Amino acid sequence: MVPKTAEQGYADAQSDLGEMYDEGRGVPKDYKEAARWYRKAAEQGNADAQSDLGVMYAKGRGVPKDYVTAYMWFNLAAQDAGLPESVGEIRDALAGMMSSAQIARAQQMSRE
């Protein structure tokens, strides 16, 4: 049921399908496919997918390692009051590995 609803554009199902590929649960583990589904949900404002996509970029799983993009996704996810504070803490820890110019760029990307 999840793949069908994900293909129909439901963000929660897309996030769930991304997690299935990320963990190899019911489908072969495939980080690239996980990132693709997380992105679809994240672009619709799904905070869980935004956080998960941030992890993918921070670790270079299925996407090129990119701290600026990771920070942007964590920053967007941190705006959701339903997620744990640890999302903001992860974003802040990531900032410790970035230059001030990179942080500024990530924050600009978040606003856009």
Using alpha carbons, select from 16, 111, 20, 109 the residue that is nearest to residue 70. 109
φ/ψ (deg, to 5) at 30:
-150, 100
Using alpha carbons, select from 22, 18, 107 the residue that is nearest to residue 69. 107
Structure tokens at 68: 């600026």
pLDDT tens sequence across 87-106: 888 888 999 999 999 999 99
Structure tokens at 47: 């905070």
pLDDT tens sequence across 38-80: 999 999 999 999 999 999 999 999 999 999 999 999 999 988 7
Domains of the chain: 2-111 (1.25.40.10)
Expressed in angstroms, the distance from the first to the final Cα of the chain is 33
